[in-house]
């Protein structure tokens, strides 16, 4: 185990609510992997959050394990990072309740993700509204300094800051106030079929919307071939919404290759037509995902090893968070005999 005493602590998570896609990879996982050597990392599979929308129980269990395998296949090293399943550490749900009792309802009703999601359903569950409080609990019970997430989660991390600050004001200094860390590149990968909406698990069953991390090369090629573009026939970055499709393709190429915008535009300088752009972007994505898919297959072949990693991770996470829980309960006036 690395010496983590002087390192900043990182906490992040992904819901096992659907197939992981390129947005999850570049917006979250890739950044986690790049940082993991000089941080004290906690990477969680947030299955309790997945319950805020209807799930098939057997599928949820399968996807929870698959998500964990993908973390490791993408390069999360269980020696350097604590990998665990949220529902294995009951402190998360318990602290969520305690934080509910200091969180004004208005703060939750203002969350844009809640407003969007509740507009699209006619039976709004209490869990959907409360989702950011559970997320705040996830983060602050570990005293995490940094939370690397995609742009869409920034507002939730800011709420976690507000809740930590409010608790500290009422009960005295208790929690570290966390910072969102949004990668400049890849903060928002858009749908290939519609570049005005973000690539999401929710839409990943729609043909041509997402590149799923486990899609085979042929499927990835097909998705890119079908990607929306425009009629400008000009391969350069742009903020113009009409050109969002091409911009998204260039953004994906940029984040995978690690090149700058001008290097990317140079690469495509003499290229004629969007067809070749799509082929080249598909190729870099296929090559990036190939070793991940191979490693994933090896991990799933030996699930005993994966179970051991998750059990060890859960144990370590429980130990750390339980001592924080005792402090919080005491400060809030709960009797300890
Ligand atoms: P979710 O799929 O909502 O569980 O998100 C897991 C992580 O992936 C979070 O850090 C999100 O911000 C990030 N993420 C999800 N979709 C995208 C996207 N289209 N582009 C960039 N990051 C994303
Ligand atoms: N809400 C996040 C998402 O949908 C997932 C999540 C839950 C999370 N708890 C977290 C992310 C704590 C970072 C830190 O993407």
Pocket around ligand 1: residues whose beta carbon is below 6 Å from it? Answer: 14-15, 23-24, 27-28, 149-150, 152-153, 187-189, 198-201
What is the model's pLDDT at position 271?
83
| CATH T-level assignment (fold) for domain 8-183+303-331 | Rossmann fold (3.40.50)
Buried b (16+ CB within 10 A) or exposed e, 72-92: bbbbbebebbbbbbbbbbebb
Reduced 3-state DSSP string for 296-316? HHHHHHCHHHHHHHHHHHHHH
How far does the centroid of ligand 2 lie from the alpha carbon of residue 12, in Å? 6
For atom 17 of ligand 1, the residue with the nearest CA is 23
> What is the CATH superfamily name and number for domain 217-297?
Tyrosyl-Transfer RNA Synthetase (1.10.240.10)
Determine whether the shortest distance from the Cβ of 12 to ligand 2 is under 6 A.
yes
How far does the centroid of ligand 2 lie from the alpha carbon of residue 245, in Å? 27
Rounded Cα distance between 2 and 69, Å, is: 22
Determine whether the shortest distance from the Cβ of 46 to ligand 2 is under 6 A.
yes
Q: Which residue shows structure tokens 């005491």?
A: 330
Predicted model pTM: 0.94
Task: Just list the catalytic residues.
Answer: 117, 198, 201
How far does the centroid of ligand 1 lie from the alpha carbon of residue 132, in Å? 15
Rounded Cα distance between 319 and 84, Å, is: 13
Rounded Cα distance between 294 and 287, Å, is: 11
What is the model's pLDDT at position 209?
96
What is the model's pLDDT at position 165?
98
Q: What is the pLDDT of residues 264-295, one digit of tens each?
A: 999 999 887 899 999 999 999 999 999 999 99
On the question of a common fold for 8-183+303-331 and 217-297, the answer reads: no
Please say whether the beta carbons of 61 and 95 come within 8 A: no
Query: Which residue ranges in the chain fall short of pLDDT 70?
Result: 1-2, 185-187
Please say whether the beta carbons of 80 and 118 come within 8 A: no
Give the tokens for residue 223: 């998705």
Rounded Cα distance between 192 and 222, Å, is: 11
Rounded Cα distance between 140 and 161, Å, is: 9
Q: How many helices (H) and strands (E) in the chain?
A: 14, 5
- Where in the chain are the domains? 8-183+303-331, 217-297
Please give the span between the terminal C-alpha atoms of the chain, in angstroms, as a whole number: 35
The ligand minimizing its distance to the Cα of 147 is: 2
What is the model's pLDDT at position 185?
67
For atom 13 of ligand 2, the residue with the nearest CA is 12
Q: From the alpha carbon of 156, which atom of ligand 2 is closest?
A: 1
Q: By C-alpha distance, which of 22, 152, 25 is closest to 76?
A: 25
Please say whether the beta carbons of 249 and 281 come within 8 A: yes
What is the model's pLDDT at position 122?
81
How far does the centroid of ligand 2 lie from the alpha carbon of residue 26, in Å? 15
Rounded Cα distance between 191 and 193, Å, is: 5
């Amino acid at each position: 185990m690395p010496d983590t005493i002087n390192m900043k602590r990182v906490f992040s998570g992904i819901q096992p609510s659907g197939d992981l896609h390129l947005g999850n990879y570049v917006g979250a996982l890739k950044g986690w992997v790049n940082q993991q050597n000089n941080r004290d990392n906690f990477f969680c599979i947030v299955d309790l959050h997945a319950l805020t929308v209807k799930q098939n129980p057997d599928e949820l269990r399968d996807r929870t394990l698959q998500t964990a395998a993908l973390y490791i296949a993408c390069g999360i090293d269980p020696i350097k990072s604590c990998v665990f399943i949220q529902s294995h550490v009951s402190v998360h749900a318990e602290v969520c309740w305690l934080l509910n009792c200091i969180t004004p309802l208005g703060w939750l009703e203002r969350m844009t993700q809640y407003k969007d999601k509740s507009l699209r359903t006619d039976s709004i569950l209490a869990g959907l509204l409360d989702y950011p409080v559970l997320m705040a609990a996830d983060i602050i019970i570990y005293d995490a300094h940094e939370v690397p997430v995609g742009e869409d989660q920034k507002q939730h991390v800011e709420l976690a800051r507000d809740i930590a600050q409010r608790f500290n004001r009422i009960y005295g200094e208790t929690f570290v106030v966390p910072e969102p860390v949004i990668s400049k590149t890849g903060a928002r990968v858009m749908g290939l079929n519609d570049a005005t909406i973000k690539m999401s698990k929710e839409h990943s069953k729609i043909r041509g919307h997402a590149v799923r991390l486990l899609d085979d090369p042929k499927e990835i090629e097909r998705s890119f071939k079908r990607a929306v573009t425009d009629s400008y026939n000009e391969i350069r970055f742009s903020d113009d919404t009409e050109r969002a499709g091409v911009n998204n393709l260039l953004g994906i190429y940029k984040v995978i290759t690690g090149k700058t915008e001008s290097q990317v535009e140079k690469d495509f300088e003499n290229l004629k037509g969007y067809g070749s752009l799509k082929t080249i972007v598909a190729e870099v994505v296929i090559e990036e995902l190939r070793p991940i898919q191979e490693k994933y297959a090896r991990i799933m072949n030996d699930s005993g090893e994966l179970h051991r990693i998750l059990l060890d991770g859960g144990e370590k996470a429980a130990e750390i968070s339980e001592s924080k829980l005792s402090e919080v309960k005491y400060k809030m006036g709960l009797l300890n005999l």
